[in-house]
Structures are given as structure tokens and as C-alpha cells.
Amino acid sequence: MTSKFFITSLLASALFLGLGIAPVMAQGTNTPALDRAQQAISARIQQGMASGHITPSEARDLLRRDREIDLTERRFKANGTATPQERQQLRADVDSLGNEVERLMMNNSYVQPPANSAGTTPGIDNRQNNISQRIDEGVRSGRITQREARRLQSRERQIARHEAAYKRDGVVTSQERRQLRDELARLNAELERMMRNDRG
């Protein structure tokens, strides 16, 4: 679902903004096991984005959490070391993030589209990316709660699963494309109602 260009631009943006695909650690770090675990999680997020198991919106949230762990670690190390309690908290945070990545990888079935144009859906993919970005914008602005965002993202994944099923035979028919457009239109309408704070 996600184009190589979009994946590359998202990863480049994450690096530019300091979200850290590979965690940036303080010099002389004394938590190498945690550092390796974070690097493995970052690689897994990249893999999930490339395979379509993790949506752009989910990836941004996971990368934000990864960056928060880095900042916490830096704060703990500001005095030159990390206490056993601080290390335990960092391990718990890293484990929680890793578990969330694996949950997304297991729950979101997706099949890469075939190379021929009859099996690709760039217009639909662009709409999905736009909706993902609008969800992020809504959460950042406070117009959408985290709970509402999770519900919208669940519907995003459901549409992605429908798209994957349609692509399995190598052709997405005009009727299947219309079905996907209709589902995205309904999702977008609900998103825009939430953005206007019109919950009724």
C-alpha cells in the first residue's frame, strides 16, 4: 500500500526531525543491551512500513515513542549514570514499544501488490496516506483523542486488508476500486466530523 517514495520520505523526515530511526545515545553509554533492543525495534518498524503491516500514522507514533525513550535515557544519564530503578524503567519502556510493534506486525495482514498496473492503486494509496496524516494532525491539535485515533486507525487497517485481498489475484477491478473509494470516503467523513468536534 505504501510507496517506496513515501517510506523513504517518512524515514528521511524522521531522521531530520530527530525522531531517530537509529537511537542517538549519549557518549560513553552504559546501556548497550537497551541500545541494541531499540535499534532492532527501529529496524522492525522500517520492515513493517515497507511491508504495509504498519501504517504511516502508526509508524510516526512508534517513532515518537522511541524518541521519548531516548530523551528519558539522556535525562537519566545527565549525572553520568543510570540507577537500577531507571534502567528497569527504560527496559520496561523498550519492552512495551517492542511488544506494540510486534502486535501490529501480527495483526495487520498485508500482501505486497503485484508489479503490473492493473494490480496497483496509487490514487487509493494517496488517499490512505492523506487520511493517516489528518489523523495525526487531529491528535496533535487535540481535536481527536488517542482513543478515537485508534478507532480510525483500526478502520484504516480494515480497508488495507480489503485492498490486499483484492490484489491477491493481480487485478483490482473497477468495482473493487469503487468499494475501496467508498470505504475511504466514509472513513474520511467520520474523521472530518471529529475534526469539527461534531460527535453526534
pLDDT digits (tens, 9 = 90+) for 3-16: 455 555 555 454 44
Q: Which residues, at least 6 apart from 128, have a Cβ–Cβ distance to it below 8 Å? A: 1, 55, 156, 159, 160, 184
189 pLDDT more than 80: yes
How does residue 17 score in pLDDT terms, banded at 50, 70 and 90?
Answer: very low
pLDDT of residue 7: 53
> For residue 26, which amino acid is it?
A
pLDDT of residue 199: 52
State pLDDT tens for residues 21-50. Answer: 434 433 334 678 888 888 888 888 888 877
**Which position has the grid cell 493481480?**
170
How does residue 2 score in pLDDT terms, banded at 50, 70 and 90?
Answer: very low
88: which 3 cell numbers?
528497569
pLDDT of residue 118: 61
**144 touches 199 (CB < 8 A):** no
Tally of CB atoms within 10 A around 151: 14
What is the mean predicted confidence (pLDDT) over 50-61? 77
113: which 3 cell numbers?
501488490
139 pLDDT more than 70: yes
How does residue 185 score in pLDDT terms, banded at 50, 70 and 90?
Answer: very high
**59 touches 49 (CB < 8 A):** yes
| pTM of full prediction above 0.75 | no
How does residue 140 score in pLDDT terms, banded at 50, 70 and 90?
Answer: confident
- DSSP characters over 170-198: S---HHHHHHHHHHHHHHHHHHHHHHTT-
**What is the Cα–Cα distance from 45 to 37, expressed in whole angstroms?**
12
